[in-house]
Amino acid sequence: MGSSLKKNIGWDSLKEKVEAFCIKHGISLPNFDDPYANSGRSRRKVAICTTLHHYRVDVFYKIIYWQLQEDNDRFNEVTSDLLNGVSCLNPIDSFSSFDIKKIMRMGELYPNDFDGSNMRALENQLVNYIIDVRDIDERFSNLGGLEELSRKLVETKKHLTYSLIFLLVKVALFLPVATATVERAFSAMKIIKNDLRN
C-alpha cells in the first residue's frame, strides 16, 4: 500500500504540472474518463480502458519501473547503502530523512574508522545528536545541506561532541570529489590503453 500511495502522489503532481503546461500553451487536454483509443491498433481491437488508466498505468508506472530497474543495475548494494546513509545525514526539512540504521550501515562500510567499539559509540552519538539538533538547538533549524551542517557543527563545537557523526559528514562531503577523481583516472587509463593498442 505504501508504494502505491507514493506512486499516486507522484502521478497527481505530474498530472497537475502537465495540465498547467497545457493550459498555459493552449494545448487541449484529454478527458481522462473517456475510453482510451490507441491510434496504432486496428479499430476492431480497441483496448477497454480509460485515458486516465492508459497514461497512469501503461505510461507513468512503466517509466517508474524502468527507472528503478536502471538504478538497480547501476548501483550495487554497497553504493546504495552509502547513498542512503548520506541522504539520512542531510539536515534538510528538520532532518526528516534521519534514520539511525541506515547511518549505522554507512559506518560499517568504513571498518578502519568504525570498529566494534566505535560502532557502539556512533549509535549512542546518533541517539543524542538527533534530539539535540532537531529538538533542542534552534541553530540547526533551516539548514540547507551537508555543507551548512558541517559548518554549524564546527561553529557550535558540536563536532567534538559528535566526532563520529562529523567524520561521516566529512566522508559524505568528500564522496563527490573522490568519485569524480576515480572516474577521471579510469577515463585516462582507457585513453592510454587505446593509445597503446593503436
Bigger pLDDT: 194 vs 65:
65
Distance of CA 69 to the CA centre of its chain: 15
Mean pLDDT of 47-55: 81
pLDDT digits (tens, 9 = 90+) for 69-80: 776 666 677 778
Residue 19 has pLDDT above 60, yes or no: yes
Instruction: Read off the pLDDT band of 58 (50, 70, 90).
Output: confident
Query: In whole numbers, what is the pLDDT of the chain averaged over residues?
Result: 80
> What percent of the chain has a predicted confidence (pLDDT) above 90?
33
- Reported residue count of the chain is 198
CB atoms within 10 A of CB 14: 13
Q: What is the pTM of this model?
A: 0.55
Bigger pLDDT: 122 vs 61:
122
Cell numbers given for 68: 528503478
Question: Which residues is 50 bridged to in the sheet?
Answer: 35
In the block, residue with C-alpha cell 528538520: 94
How confident is the model at residue 182, as a pLDDT?
A: 43
* Cβ-Cβ contacts under 8 Å for 140 (sequence gap 6 or more): 91, 132, 133, 134, 149, 152
Mean pLDDT of 101-130: 92
| Residues 168, 85 contacting (CB under 8 angstroms) | yes
How confident is the model at residue 178, as a pLDDT?
A: 46
pLDDT digits (tens, 9 = 90+) for 134-191: 999 999 998 988 999 999 999 999 999 999 999 999 999 887 654 444 445 545 555 5
Question: Which residues is 35 bridged to in the sheet?
Answer: 50
**Nearest CA among 37, 41, 130 for reference residue 90:** 130
Structural domain boundaries in the chain: 2-74, 77-181
HSE on the CB side for 82, CA within 13 Å? 14
**Nearest CA among 131, 139, 130 for reference residue 165:** 130
Question: Residue 106: is it exposed, middle or buried by C-beta count within 10 angstroms (0-12/13-18/19+)?
Answer: buried
> What percent of the chain has a predicted confidence (pLDDT) above 70?
76
> What 3-state DSSP class applies to 121?
helix
